Amino acid sequence: MGSSVVDNGDRSALLDVETHFKSFIARFGKAYATAEAYAHRLKVFEANLVRAVSHQALDPSAVHGITQFSDLTEEEFKQQFLGLRVPSRLREANKAPVLPTNDLPEDFDWREHGAVTEVKNQGACGSCWAFSTTGAIEGAHFLETGKLISLSEQQLVDCDHSCDPTDKVSCDAGCNGGLMTNAYDYVMKSGGLETETDYPYTGNSNGKCQFNANKIVASVANFSTVSLDEDQIAANLVKHGPLAIGINAVFMQTYIGGVSCPIICSKHHIDHGVLLVGYGAKGYAPIRFTEKPYWIIKNSWGATWGEQGYYKICRGHGMCGMNTMVSTVA
């Protein structure tokens, strides 16, 4: 968890920046090699405190403040912790059929049904797409077999170089980004994925592909893209398991908790692959706001980020483009 620097919009919390910075260094085990590096990161940290105050004003039903990313510039954060390569035109093929939505449960969470592995950590590697992919396949495998197995992201990072058929420049490239639908193509062609234990995560893409087909434990028969309609997304979630989605992560660098429902969040700048695991009818909101229906999203930045590694975002508005790149596997 991080800590809020905002108290009723009072900017006085920003006055003693270095005190906050020293607390941040101690809490997250940060170290800087030189006095120059320390001074530079202090300036970045100060800018991020101002950003957190701004985000709090734009997103008052969530809590924003100091996180483990508060010493990174926006550009550094994007390069190291995002990594979704969005094609110029999204796939039209493999559209999911329309499902009935009249009997959906009011609240649903795949964590309560055993279909979600522990929160993982991609580290400073733009491999979010690989974690989103394995999460969806882990859930589908659980629905099929009743067994929850943690699957290998590193296999995708090392071995998957698939390209989007509609945009040949959108290719999976390890820590330099990728796309979940490309990864499904790879898994179908290669035969499947190994376990996390057999092919452990290293957080870099310098290694050679070590894939061993004899160690495959989960496979993909097909995948579908889900429509923009959020009731259809909910229906697919309940029927098929956790869904891989793309999202605009602009508010996630400063997010601590609550239901994120920013006043402005572009639906077109999708840059992060995550896993949709559930939804709720009534999320926490301050007294002056009505309670909000929300989505529950599993992230891949470790359990110290957000709400034990999870992100809540309001439902029904296509918030931050969460409905534009949704896929399901079987």
- In degrees rounded to 5, what are phi and psi of residue 258? 85, -175
Active-site positions read 128, 272, 299
**Residues 220 and 156: beta-carbon distance below 8 Å:** no
Cα first-last separation, the chain: 34
Compute CA distances 112 → 59, 109, 116, 141, 277, whole Å. Answer: 28, 6, 9, 16, 10
Cα–Cα dist 74/104, whole Å: 39
206 contacts: CB under 8 Å, gap ≥ 6: none
**Strand 272-283 to strand 292-298: parallel, antiparallel, or no bridges (unpaired)?**
antiparallel
Decide if 113 contacts 146 (C-beta within 8 A): no
DSSP state of 215: G
Q: What is the rounded CA–CA span in Å between residue 276 and residue 34?
A: 41
The owner of tokens 């997250």 is 28
Burial level of 29, CB count in 10 A (0-12/13-18/19+)? Answer: exposed
What's the angle, vertex CA 59, arms to CA 107 and CA 109, rounded to 5?
Answer: 15
